[in-house]
Structure 1
Amino acid sequence: MTAVNAPRRPGRHHSAKPGARTVIDASAMADVFLEGPRGDSAGQAVAAARQLWAPALFDSEVNSAIARLERSNAVSQRAADEAVHAVRAAPIRRAP
């Protein structure tokens, strides 16, 4: 499995093998939908993924991250609501 937010070693080419599973982190997914600091790189990894997987607690973690950003006024309520709905609709398999 490859992790979306895994550190990369300099000078090494990293590409997912065909059929490889990509595991998405909740905060990285929040950044994708809310245009956060890792949004571009995480979004590229998500777009390139053949199979996108998330831990069982993914939904509660991503909802918590989005709510935290909304409470701090980093995003609007509308943007937060749209992000929550987009995450729910995303083709992500949840690991048990």
Structure 2
Amino acid sequence: MPDPQKGNDGAMSRAITDEEGRYTLIFTGDGSTPGAVVGWHCVTLEDLASENFRGAGKPPAPRVGGVYMDPSHTPLKFEVVEGEQTIDLKVVGK
């Protein structure tokens, strides 16, 4: 999500990783336009397997720590620049 503390207030983007952890950002507005607005962003992570659990019993514990789910505490902050860009997310522990 754009980081308003660093002057970025554009549209949000999201992605779902594949089996190898690769992803492509898509603007959330129309859900089909690839990319992200230029500027600084705070990146949050969600574990869809845990959040979307609908089975009996207790849902599985999230595979990512709570710090990565909270936009005000996530250590994942990156600047998106003009043009194509690759950003590798390094996640440590739970």
Same fold (TM over 0.5): no
What TM-score, normalized by structure 1, do the two folds share?
0.28
The structure with more radius of gyration: 2
What TM-score, normalized by structure 2, do the two folds share?
0.28
**Higher helix proportion (structure 1 or 2):** 1
